[in-house]
Structure 1
Amino acid sequence: MSLDTPAVTPTPLNTDPPLNADPLLDSLTALFRRVLELPEVPGDGNFFLLGGDSLVATRVLSAVARTHGVELTFEEFLADPTPAGLAARVGSATAVPATR
């Protein structure tokens, strides 16, 4: 190595999970990460396959109601227990109907 070679400064790695284009999906993904105590959860990550159980699912539903103002049933959660699935349900529940 030559003494004239400039030093290379390593670029720090981004340790934050990637953000989705949808803030609602980001919020629900963060909620799954928090309650499951995982560093990363994909938008299509199944809550139960990621280690969640019915008791922890009630915490998710409670947080969704507090944060987004939508009360989902446990059956609705079971239908698609992923951040994307919940985002679709919350989004449709909060959508304003079009007026004619």
Structure 2
Amino acid sequence: MGRAALIYLAAALAEIGGCFAIWSVLRLGRAAWWLGAGLGSLALFAWLLTLVESAAAGRAFAAYGGVYIAASLAWLWLVEGVRPDGWDLAGGALCLAGAGLILLAPRG
């Protein structure tokens, strides 16, 4: 696994964890301190994306989007206990293929 892939994976975990912490306060009635943890996790996510080697931020963010979708489906299964169906998996694979195309395309 390349450096960019590891950064994107870490960023996805930080973003999903941060969003889930805020979701937990607002939708599941968790304690307010979860908001602080969620905001810290979201700040970590933003910092991690700056570590991806890319001449343009938008390209780095676009490629990350596919990783985020696949990681969200893994979160759905592993954390929330809801098994992704075939449509989820096909969509996630399509998004990862698109992310790979954006990130690895030869550019002159």
How does the TM-score come out when normalised to structure 1?
Answer: 0.31
Identify, as 1 or 2, the structure richer in helix: 2
Bigger-Rg structure (1/2): 1
How does the TM-score come out when normalised to structure 2?
Answer: 0.30
